[in-house]
Copies of this chain bind each other. A is one copy, B any other.
């Protein structure tokens, strides 16, 4: 065991890793303590429950995702379309790394928990909703720039199109996880350029 101050970080790391590999319900406090080499009394010194640990772990996971995927994808140095394609490319590569390391496409850690937990845990659902709102903000900034550059129609509904882009991305990740094959993320990436031209049916 490391210093007591490490125990909290070890638990957060274990929660991020094990819940992404499995699911929220499949991982117990005992398993988290074992993976983190932390005693159960230490666990309850830092966290009142598995839920509380997972809320902290999700915040940490989100910050990582922003730094490693969203900010490099939605870089103002890139044209709007290239920003979308980079989001898919970075995600494809990330899932490939996971597949090689674990044998499994683990998918989007946020989308996974949206579907597993939204009917069961309002605190987790609400936190995930705030992440998705922030993510929509990245799409919206890209779309405003695309409108300025005349790449999308002047009449484009930016909030709806951002939702459509996030839906398409999350769906591609879901299908890739179901097939246990990250290649589908790469195959489907060009579709995002259609979705960004969103228009209502006449």
Chain A interface residues (CB < 8 Å from chain B): 21-26, 81, 85, 102, 104-107, 111-112, 114-120, 125, 128-129, 132, 160, 163-164, 166-172, 174-175, 177-180, 184, 187-191, 193-195, 197-201
Contact = CB atoms under 8 A, between A and B. Distances in A.
Nearest to A27: B25
> How often does this chain occur in the complex, in copies?
2
Nearest to A133: B179
A193 B201 contact: yes
Nearest to A117: B23
Given A22-B120, A167-B168, A195-B195, 6 more contacts: A115-B174, A128-B178, A164-B168, A167-B191, A171-B171, A194-B194
A110 to B, nearest CB: 9
A106 B129 contact: no
B132 A178 contact: yes
Contact of A115 (B104, B116, B191, B193): B116
Most chain-B Cβ atoms within 10 A of its Cβ — which of A112, A117, A201? A201
B164 A191 contact: yes
Given A118-B105, A132-B178, A178-B114, A199 B194 contact: yes
